Chains A and B, each alone.
Chain A
Amino acid sequence: MSDTHAPAFRRAVVALNGGPSDARIVRLVADHARPIKAELIAIHVVEIDWTLPLDADIAGRSEEVQRVLDTAESVAEDYKMTLEPVLLQARDVGAAIVDEAIERDADLLVVGLPFRKRFGGEFAIGRTIPYILQNAPCTVWVVRDPITEEPS
């Protein structure tokens, strides 16, 4: 495929972490999805620790959690795109994202890599992104935040 062609995908799953990079990756994917009329699914996973039942009423009660998906939906609408928001509760975020992407037959999975400004600034790759990179059956885009100049 030539570099000048838009990357082809039918259905993209965008994993949101509730951080500032969410809007950026939704914009990026929406921008690519619009001309090829691809479907967009946004997933936000709330991790439930083992002290609580998996179906504990946590995510549904949290305005902040709902706002993550609502904001993504709003950003996609700016691009005249419809985004299907999916809110999950799981023990492991990476596994939930990959399993949901498989179930929805996604051919692109997009995750953001946030830049933490504390302690001089570093990319907190954590364990979710490596898990996705190792287990997702489809193409994975990892969108890195820009490095900000002034660590706070």
Chain B
Amino acid sequence: MIGGRRPLRGRKPADRRVRVERPHAPFFRYMGPGTLVAKPAANVALTPTGRFLARVRAVVFGRPLSNEEEIGERLSKTKALAIFSSDAISSSAYATEEILRVLLLAGAGAMLLSIQVAIAITVLLAVVSVSYRQVCRAYPNGGGAYVVARTNLAPLFGLIAAASLLIDYVMTVAVSTAAAIAQIQSVIPAAYDVRIEIAFVSISLITIANLRGLRESGNIFAVPTYLFVGLALSIVAIGLVNIIGGTVVPIAPEPDAVQFPDPLESLGILLVLKAFAGGSVALTGVEAIANGVPAFRPPESKNAANTMTAMAVLLGILFVGLTLFAVQYGLQPTEAGGASIVALAARTAFGDGSVLFVTFAASTALILFLAANTSFNAFPRLAAILAEDGYMPRQFSFRGDRLAYSWGIVLLAAVAFGLLWAFGGDTHALIPLYSVGVFLCFTLSQAGMVRHWLKVREPGWRWRLTVNAIGGVLTAVVLGIVVFEKFADGAYLVVILVPLLVGMMLFIKGQYARSARELTVTPSVIVRPPHREERVIVPIPGLNRAVVQAINVGRSIDEDVRAVYITADPASAAQVRADFERQVPGVPLVVVESPYRALVGPLLAYLDVLDAAWPPDKESPITFVVIPEYVARHWWERILYNQAAKRLRTVLLGRPHTVVVAVPYRREDAALFEGLLGGERDTDKPAAPDGSARPG
């Protein structure tokens, strides 16, 4: 388009040039033949309220990111370790305590066994992490256990794994938040009374951080994670030095330490298995990296696999080290509201009230809060993959302004807080629900990988298959133990929830499949021009400019246009008819008197009568119902206008062979309206000036 500018003069008379305006440029960019790419200006809200809300969103969540910036949002291994491993690493803060709480039932001597139990769990961790390294490499698009089980076993097994994972992630947020609050209580006992409020604030902050995008949440969460890891490793190192130097002096139990039962339980295999099941919470979160492989910088699979190894090594050292420390120093769990084992270990290593102790307590609370962050990354990604496969509503696969899966993030926050609130913010009440889902998906994932290696048989497949088979058997055994030991404590809820979730996902898939079948255009079909007859009905509230505009739109659709005036007042009908026939010649007006003052019912009945009157040997026509609407300028005006039009639109939406056309009349259209009337305007009888377009 030439901008209407005069040609610009050059240095010589013939060197004239014209600047060409580019009206698309502020909003779009041509990037290929017939392909426009929208710029940020195309998304700018048009109303002042919309712009204000957009500014608020930009302040809270950051400026919107384009798809091209996705690669810049990818995580380095350092940040990914902080984001995806905070859950696994933080579980070292409470896994030892879960073992000790079980073993103390058999007395102080039995607590010594906690080291062996911790080592056994670490061996399991090693097997599981080696297996998941293989998942990272074999499935670079992420999805973890769900994708592995879906691809190699059956879609149903994939859904079971997905349901287990979704439950696990919700549990992670709830349990880690509860554990973090327990940690705060270790230092500030009064925090117990406001634990639900703290949980709400914490989950809200993590939600906002995640809605700001992956990279920013990595920046926010990396410091506390590495601070915890550094200080926890220091505790382990101090403990080891003292143990090797023979300078360990056992600590006297806290006043609120859990008392040994009287009589003591016998240290049988069941008690040891129960301790094992309790400590196995340490493995929760291990699978998160395999779910989020695409979040890593290239080479994604290799980086994810290496991060997995780093996480497993760190977790193993911390878990066994802290357990060894606790046993050697004779640390005993306390009653609810008391100091946690890890807090007692820090107090012993750094000294009560020391800067390091307080820093460690703070970093422990922080990493426990941030363990929830692992779920905030993994849950939305899994939900997005499920949504892409049609098992969850499609909006879960849409990325928000900051390239985060906003729907998944918000859903996770809401459900986790609801759970925390329902259980009164108690960690121990929540943990029984925790491990079942984790081990179920571990087992399915390992079994799927065994099938995978049998299918692909690439170099080295035998040892890989062996690792996955061992992992599968071990995690299946642990799953059995966990279900057996924790069933009555609440694990039964998970056993009920998994099938419910699977059923829900199958229902959604079925629903999408049905609608897809209904909407499918068969490839062999060549779409021809329409051949059905058309007719236009314009429901009018009288004669005004909006009505005239709607009738003219109707005339542009088809010649068969009729206006329908539904009224409860026969006297007004006569006046409207007289005006209409004089001012809008050529368009028949049908007056429907409605003694019961209804609008919608008589109009629907009139449309039915028209249908019934159509010759039965002819194909039904398409009926266009053209509704005049007055455009409100302000939000409060919306209450005053178009209520009847809205009702009409709603009831006509599902009517067969019917198309609803809303014709908006804007006050700005008034100038154009003069042109609509042409030269036949009758100055004696002007059109209704009130502008009201309400039909009826």
* Chain A residues within 8 Å of B, Cβ to Cβ: 45-46, 54-57, 59-61, 63-64, 66-67, 69-71, 73-74, 85-92, 95-96, 98-100, 102-103, 135
Residue B14 CB within 8 A of the other chain: yes
- Cα(A87)–Cα(B2), bound, Å: 10
**Which A-chain residue is minimally distant from B7 (CB atoms)?**
A54
**Which B-chain residue is minimally distant from A94 (CB atoms)?**
B15
The answer to whether A89 touches B20, judged by C-beta atoms less than 8 angstroms apart, is yes
CB within 8 Å for A57 and B1 given contacts A73-B29, A99-B10: yes
Residue B647 CB within 8 A of the other chain: no
Which segment of B30-38, B168-176, B300-308, B501-509 sits at the interface?
B30-38
> What 1/0 mask marks residues of chain B from 1 to 44 whose CB sits below 8 Å from any chain A CB?
11000011011101111111110110001111110000000000
The answer to whether A66 touches B18, judged by C-beta atoms less than 8 angstroms apart, is no
The answer to whether A96 touches B20, judged by C-beta atoms less than 8 angstroms apart, is no
The answer to whether A91 touches B1, judged by C-beta atoms less than 8 angstroms apart, is no
- Cα(A57)–Cα(B31), bound, Å: 21
B79 smallest CB distance to A (angstroms): 22
> What 1/0 mask marks residues of chain B from 381 to 424 whose CB sits below 8 Å from any chain A CB?
00000000000000000000000000000000000000000000
CB within 8 Å for A95 and B12 given contacts A59-B20, A60-B22: yes
The 8 closest A-B pairs by CB, nearest first: A95-B15, A90-B17, A60-B1, A99-B10, A70-B29, A67-B30, A87-B20, A96-B17
**Which B-chain residue is minimally distant from A60 (CB atoms)?**
B1
A91-B16, A99-B17 given; name 19 further pairs at CB < 8 Å.
A59-B20, A60-B2, A60-B20, A60-B21, A61-B1, A63-B34, A66-B22, A67-B31, A67-B32, A70-B29, A87-B22, A88-B17, A89-B18, A90-B17, A95-B12, A96-B17, A99-B11, A100-B17, A103-B8
A9 smallest CB distance to B (angstroms): 22
- Cα(A34)–Cα(B593), bound, Å: 74
Q: Give the chain A neighbours of B12 by CB distance below 8 A.
A: 95
- What are 27 of the A-B contact pairs (CB < 8 Å)? A46-B20, A54-B17, A54-B18, A55-B18, A56-B2, A60-B21, A61-B1, A63-B30, A63-B33, A66-B24, A69-B22, A69-B25, A70-B29, A70-B31, A74-B31, A86-B19, A87-B19, A88-B17, A89-B2, A92-B15, A95-B11, A98-B10, A98-B11, A99-B8, A99-B15, A100-B17, A102-B11
The answer to whether B2 touches A71, judged by C-beta atoms less than 8 angstroms apart, is no
**Which B-chain residue is minimally distant from A71 (CB atoms)?**
B31
Q: Give the chain B neighbours of A135 by CB distance below 8 A.
A: 11
- Cα(A64)–Cα(B2), bound, Å: 16
- Cα(A79)–Cα(B18), bound, Å: 30
The answer to whether A66 touches B15, judged by C-beta atoms less than 8 angstroms apart, is no
B497 smallest CB distance to A (angstroms): 47
The answer to whether A90 touches B15, judged by C-beta atoms less than 8 angstroms apart, is yes
The answer to whether A88 touches B22, judged by C-beta atoms less than 8 angstroms apart, is no
The answer to whether B20 touches A88, judged by C-beta atoms less than 8 angstroms apart, is yes
Q: Give the chain A neighbours of B32 by CB distance below 8 A.
A: 67
Q: Give the chain A neighbours of B17 by CB distance below 8 A.
A: 45, 54, 88-90, 95-96, 99-100
- Cα(A86)–Cα(B5), bound, Å: 14
The answer to whether B29 touches A74, judged by C-beta atoms less than 8 angstroms apart, is yes
Partner of B15, one of A60, A85, A91: A91
A144 smallest CB distance to B (angstroms): 26
- Cα(A142)–Cα(B29), bound, Å: 27
A88 smallest CB distance to B (angstroms): 5
Q: Give the chain A neighbours of B18 by CB distance below 8 A.
A: 54-55, 88-90
- Cα(A67)–Cα(B28), bound, Å: 11
- Cα(A102)–Cα(B12), bound, Å: 13
**Which B-chain residue is minimally distant from A88 (CB atoms)?**
B17
- Cα(A85)–Cα(B11), bound, Å: 22
B191 smallest CB distance to A (angstroms): 45
Q: Which of A46, A66, A86 has the most CB of B within 10 A?
A: A66
The answer to whether A55 touches B1, judged by C-beta atoms less than 8 angstroms apart, is no
B12 smallest CB distance to A (angstroms): 7
Q: Give the chain A neighbours of B14 by CB distance below 8 A.
A: 91-92
**Which B-chain residue is minimally distant from A58 (CB atoms)?**
B20
A73 smallest CB distance to B (angstroms): 7
Q: Give the chain A neighbours of B10 by CB distance below 8 A.
A: 95-96, 98-99
